[in-house]
Amino acid sequence: MKWPRIFTAMITPFTPDGELDAQAAADLSRHLAAHGTGGLILAGSTGEAFSLSVEERLELYQAVREGVGDQIPVWLGCGTNDTRSTVELAIAAEDWGANGVLIVSPYYNKPTQEGLVRHFAEILNHISCPAMLYNVPSRTASMVDADTVAKIARKARVPFAVKEASGTVEEIIRLRQRLSSDVPVYSGDDGLYLASLAVGAYGVVSVASHVVGQEMQRLTELFLAGHVEDAKVLHADLWPLFKQLFVVSNPIALKWLLNRLSLAPGQVRMPLVTPDDEVFGGLWTAYLHAKQIRRAQAKV
């Protein structure tokens, strides 16, 4: 299969009274597909999966699939901290027609590495669609070691990838040393994307691509074409935005920005809350700077 270089971990739009806004989700998906996104992942941490019922996940998937059709792949996040529940969600996602599933490592209960191997192997044995293991210990308190990922990859009967978001390039290096070349490793951190490409990452599962998708696409193209110095300059210009999008817990800042840009309505669901606008002054400045860079490039 052909893996997209840039997945967007898409937010879930809500109405003012907190219900799923399916129309806004379809509209946003079309916008992303037209602005640099090669694939969408719904119901991940950026999509506030913690708050979505099974029925809402299906409605969200159907709205986005209608929005983009077969233009780009649409994946669904299915990970929980219970193996049986995750298997059920993954089977459902495949039955609905999802092009793949993202499976976050179990959170809260902190399984051993052997428990992680068995957890992922059990899920992968029940599906035939592509799957992506998502390692994000800052959110899960469950680090999936590179050796453990390699064991899981060897057991996988489906196309398999890794989203690495432990916050270090070193982990990308360790994964690339242990995994076969047909297992793509994605950076789960926009700020580490360029450095991750330099040590063997294939692409990125991005938050920033909601608003700078074309810039992320350009960064990738520059690096792959050997124009590393130009890629470094663009990365430096985007760096303030990468940082400001996480000034508070994701996706709070991103949703604030998308609302200001009229790209998606609604706020986050509790227990997440949006602070006063003053908190996001740096984010707005960083966004304006990033778009000035885009306009300057267009004139060259």
Catalytic residue numbers, as ranges: 134, 163
Beta carbons of 135 and 107 less than 8 angstroms apart: no
Structure tokens at 115: 């428990």
Contact 179, 155 (CB under 8 A): no
Contact 204, 187 (CB under 8 A): yes
Helix (H) or strand (E) holding 133: strand 131-135
Q: Is 140 helix (H, G, I), strand (E, B) or coil?
A: helix
88 vs 69: CA distance, rounded Å: 25
Place of tokens 């696409």: 217
CA distance 230 to 9: 26
User: Hey, what amino acid is at 155?
Assistant: K
67 Cβ contact list (under 8 Å, min separation 6): 25, 26, 27, 28, 29, 30, 33
Q: How many other β-carbons are positioned within 10 Å of the β-carbon of residue 131?
A: 26
Distance of CA 86 to the CA centre of its chain: 18
- Dist CA 217 CA 200 (whole Å): 17
Give φ, ψ of 219 to 5 degrees.
-60, -45
